[in-house]
Structure 1
């Protein structure tokens, strides 16, 4: 027996005691049938509920205990740090006896940390392991389709609370090592006349610092946060594979994993830029990962909400099927296949050329720096993904997955634009069918009945309603598409204006620029054709003679003149032919701004040859 289900209307209103008793039995048996098949639930339901509740709060108490202990230890080290800092800042003379007192105090604090770590090391290990596992579990549950809204709210809240609690525990536990090592930096500022043997000993002790550990298996430090992020991604992939092996479910969860990986890459790029500085070129890394992650999330949201639009589209298709020209219908299918094949093929080729250029540059780097590279894939992995392979052993499968994730994020740009193009072509096709019916009266002589204009206006309203429904889903993608294409065109123009010594690099930037211009032109033109074909019947309708004039025709003409039928970027702008000219002017303006930014940041963020930062995303 798993649960007791109560059907509405099964009991009379005066029999509520039976309902309450049935629910009590159902709740007792739910998840505990292995217990209540052996003993009576009436006597043990309350105690077992209490035990389960207490065991649930153990997770919170463990993290809270580690946080409070870490706060106490780090506070003592920070107080000692401020005492040293105040002495140096106020130029107070620090004798050898003073440094001896500071060193003894520091060593005592380190001994307290060591003693504390022996007592709570197991709890630190359990806390870290539990939080990593449950973060992976909640990510998996959050991506599942939930039957009720309350389930979805529960999993989202549980995940956010878990992230908050784990972040709090991670941060405070790493503060112990951070503050224990800070005195070393202050001692370096001591003038020579005050630097003594005791200060030197204090410098040696504080350079090593004190830290908590997970039963000696790992040291709790800020460096471990990236390791935890990488471990979470790896465990999430294993957990998702184990949980559901069906192809569709695995695809959805792989996309989620790629999004998480993209966010981690954003953080890594941010840290790198913080170390070396920002210029007009190296900012492309963080923009790439942030933009593609946003696009991927928007595409996932689009796919989840597409069903309602597809149902409406299917109804419109059934209405227009009898009016459509089969030859034009076949041409539309061929055009959709050709556009999709060309854009996806060009996108894959653009990514391949970009990777080929990167491999060539890194090969040239190895020759220039006289680095002996026997295993180039291993060298390529260490230079591009050192933030992963400095924590885990090199594995060709991990490298392949990272390259797949990078390619998937890159193709998000193409898929986003392709989605806008194909939907625009489909919508414009329906307006073209309406125009073909009205075009028969272009000579201004033929007249028709009022019923014809009733049918035409009904068809027009159907397509307009479909445009509005599609635009509600496409609007965020239209904004990201226009913004991304504008920036990337300006970025490629910035590179092309500079002299390049490598032919492969020059080919890469020129091909990328031509591909971007072609893709953006297709997006704007396809979307603009919705507006053009929707207004095309207006010129013909005004030629209808007085004998054929009727109320429905008059209403149709007013609708054509007053209604704005076009895709928009959330109402900020509409995609018409005028927008294409506006975009061309915007490219010129933004390119001038980017050139000025490149001039102002010249020399900032440039990395010396043969540096570890030259091509890698980590130190």
Structure 2
């Protein structure tokens, strides 16, 4: 009886479901059919210039470079760029506080998102084809229910709230203009377009009624795309989640009916792998949209919270603020919930599989569980963060922290008593919310360097570092055919003296900053200078430690490189590292040159004609020295040179971490490529791959132990100066 029952279950599950699945059902729930209305809406507003949207399959989709839709889209982008340039010209002489740059970010966001949708339109046909192949493979699954209804409701809710929010802003501004002009409609429209909405444009070009209407339409387009980028991420996430839900339902059914047939479990596992590859494709196409979505929403939430500290007397203005803020919260929360649905559904599948009865457990179930545990399926923002529901709490915590910084730095700028009370109360509430295996190698072993090597790829950066007094090594220019004994560190050497001069000069500057603050009082800008020198001094000390260990580090790398000599050559790593070094140093030189020019300009405005201009420059650039010491040209030259060395160390620290990361990543990429290219492999191959992966993992842990302090100094430095720059931007 048991065998007969199993045969019947097998036959039932191998054939289509009892409920007849018509072609209409399949077509109704495809990505092509589900996204038809949203894409048509985008095309109405000048985005996503693609033909064949109303066709039955991906074969009807076509992107044409010569089409009216593309012309419409390009002209819109040109209009956004024109508006952005004129606003920048206006902003350069009229910026007063951080709220004045909100419109600037709005213009930038619109241009970027319009170009991203244009780029996606060129790839949409191939993307839908990938999706279509998965839909065909899963045609015998229970079809998703109410998918088009879910998409319609999402569109109506999001765009409805956005329409109300934008309509209230426009109506409020028009009513104010009408009152200001005492009922004269022509004058009111002139006031609305020329003086209140597009003043940056009509200062440069003469006012025309049709020009104002055209600019107003551009604003409507920008507002639409600003809201739609979140809707787009939500809709794609929803369409993908329902496919995962089909796997969950099928796996649950197999588990409950205790089907033991390996072939059935193999089919469902392979369908899941197809979805996993589709998820990777979604990340490839949508990662930038996700990044832009989160970045813009977080920025505008911070801006809205900051602007809420200003007292609002008008009831209409208060209602608009709450609707606008609600829209922002709804958008970022929806992206987290719907985007996180992919991760949640994957966890549900894992829960079903790990709970199957013992009689059902087989090799395919085991492989399925292993795949779930080792291969991540989640939407990401260019791999900087993963979209899960927990991300909401992380964003909330970050917003509270950033808002506290903004309030603290601007508390003294709030002029009236009401605003100060609002800020203090907000700070009190926010604070309350916030409260709620290693490689062992003898150091003198002669090991010949293999090519291409880590040493060769990073050599250019090391030579440059030694020019500026860090990493005091000898033999860094040796060719790869020589031995590692040629690379050595000497405590008694000219390079070591140069490095000690660099350390002493940098730390001395930090000490002088402390003395100046002790004598003349605390100033936040002086704190930034002190942190700059002290952190770079500590980094320079750690570079001496690294130099002493460098030959051992190279031996660790060489052991891995010899073990992986049969892998493909990592010939591009050296080129990438040199290019990265040149770019970093180039922008570092530009930044330091602009700093010097700024100091020269400040010195030129000084009215003290009794001092030499050079002395004035050094007095303005290095007040921590020359308010405590008497000026002389030799001391000034030493101070300037020491500052230049510290600036190089500041830039080199981030660069060094990046170069190490690129080299380690390449080793893992070599292993991945070897696995992809190998066919008909045996157990010995997988043993070798596993051992090599273990060696690279051990090397990664070893490098982490060597550079952990530098990584910590880098993050502290960068986060601190980001805060200082934000503070200076709102002065």
The normalised TM-score by structure 2 is 0.46
The Cα shift of 1:531 comes to 0.7
2:149 alignment counterpart? 334
1:386–1:492 CA distance, 2 compared to 1 (3 A): closer
Q: Which has the higher contact order (CA 8 A, sep 6+)?
A: 1
Aligned Cα root-mean-square deviation (Å):
2.7
Q: CA deviation at 1:392?
A: 5.3
- 1:559-601 C-alpha deviation (Å, 9 max, x unpaired): 1112210010101111012212111112212222332454466
Change (3 A) 1:373 1:352: closer
| CA shift in 2, pair 1:600/1:361, >3 Å | farther
Question: Residue 81 of structure 2 is aligned with which of 246, 263, 267?
Answer: 263
Is the 1:541–1:553 Cα contact (8 Å) retained in structure 2? Answer: yes
Q: Which residue of 1 aligns with 2:293?
A: 481
* CA apart distance, 1:323: 0.6
Q: Which residue of 1 aligns with 2:233?
A: 420
Distance 1:388 1:413, change over 3 A: closer
Aligned residues of 1:441 and 1:540 also touching (Cα < 8 A): no
Correspondence for 2:132 among 314, 328, 339? 314
CA distance in 1, matches of 2:104, 2:318: 23
Distance in structure 1 (CA, Å) of the matches to 2:396 and 2:119: 30
Question: CA separation of 1:496/1:390 partners in 2, compared to 1, >3 Å: closer, same or farther?
Answer: closer
2:118 to 300, 303, 311: 300
Q: Give the secondary structure class of the aligned counterpart of 1:546.
A: coil
For the 8 Å contact 1:494–1:595, the answer to whether it is kept is yes
| Corresponding residue number in structure 1 for 2:99 | 281
Displacement of 1:289 after TM fit? Answer: 0.5
Residues 1:486 and 1:429: Cα distance change in structure 2 (over 3 Å): same
Encode CA deviations 1:479-538: one digit per residue, 9 max, x unaligned: 110011111112222222332011221111110001111111111101100011122122
1:464 lines up with 2:279 in the alignment = no
Of residues 221, 226, 230 in structure 2, which corresponds to 1:408?
Answer: 221
Larger Cα-atom Rg? 1
Instruction: Give the Cα–Cα distance (whole angstroms) in 1 for the partners of residues 113 and 157 of structure 2.
Output: 21
Range with greater deviation from structure 2 (503-512 or 389-398): 389-398
Q: 1:515 and 2:333 equivalent? A: no
Output aligned runs, 1:578-597, within 5 Å. Answer: 578-597=390-409
Which of 252, 273, 282 matches 2:70? 252
Which one of the candidate residues 233, 237, 260 is aligned to 1:448?
260
SS at match of 1:283: helix
- Give the Å deviation of 1:346: 1.8
1:548 partner SS: coil
Q: CA deviation at 1:556?
A: 0.3
**Distance in 2 of aligned mates of 1:505 and 1:376:** 20
* Shift, 1:335, TM fit: 0.5
Partners of 1:247 and 1:572 lie apart in 2 by 33
Q: Deviations over 1:116-151 (max 9, x none)?
A: xxxxxxxxxxxxxxxxxxxxxxxxxxx999xxxxxx
TM superposition shift of 1:391:
5.8
Contact 1:280 1:601 in 2 (8 A): no
C-alpha displacement of 1:361: 4.2
The 2-side partners of 1:515 and 1:356 are apart by 18
Q: Distance between the aligned counterparts of 2:392 and 2:202, measured in 1?
A: 46
The one of 144, 155, 168 equivalent to 1:353 is: 168
Mapped to 2, the partners of 1:332 and 1:364 lie a distance apart of 48
* Per-residue deviation, 1:419: 0.8
Corresponding position: 1:541 with 2:359: no
Residue by residue over 1:209-256, the C-alpha shift from the partner in whole angstroms, topping out at 9 and shown as x without a partner, is xxxxxxxxxxxxxxxxxxxxxxxxxxxxxxxxxxxxx99933322322
Q: What are the superposed Cα offsets for residues 432-455 of structure 1, whole Å, 9 maximum, x if unpaired?
A: 000001112555x72320011111
Cα 1:602–1:266 change in 2 (3 A) is farther
Range 475-484 or range 588-597, more displaced:
588-597
- Consecutive unaligned residues of structure 2, counting only runs of 5 or more, are 1-47, 51-63, 416-731
Larger CA deviation: 388-397 vs 259-268: 388-397
Distance of 2:185 and 2:243 partners within structure 1: 59
Does the CA-based 8 Å contact 1:566-1:575 persist in structure 2? yes
User: SS in structure 2 opposite 1:282?
Assistant: helix
State the Cα distance separating 1:461 from its structure 2 match. 0.7
- Could you tell me whether the CA contact under 8 Å between 1:309 and 1:469 is conserved in 2? yes
User: Which residue does 2:371 correspond to in 1?
Assistant: 559
Residue 298 of structure 1 and its aligned partner are, at CA, apart by: 1.2
Counterparts of residues 8-23 of structure 1 (less than 5 Å) = none
**Pair 374,406 (structure 1): closer, same or farther in 2 beyond 3 Å:** closer
TM-aligned CA distance change 1:385 to 1:549, over 3 Å: closer
Deviation at 1:355, TM superposition (A): 1.4
CA contact (8 A) 1:278 1:601 kept: no
Task: Give the Cα separation in 1 of the matches to 2:111 and 2:186.
Answer: 35
1:438 is matched with which residue? Answer: 251
Q: Is the 8 A contact 2:255 2:360 kept in 1?
A: no
Deviations 1:375-427 (A, max 9, x none): 31122222133454456554332221110101101111111111100100011
Contact kept, 8 Å, 2:343 with 2:377, in 1: the verdict is yes
Helix, strand or coil for the counterpart of 1:549?
coil
SS of equivalent residue, structure 1 residue 567:
coil
Contact 1:496 1:506 in 2 (8 A): no
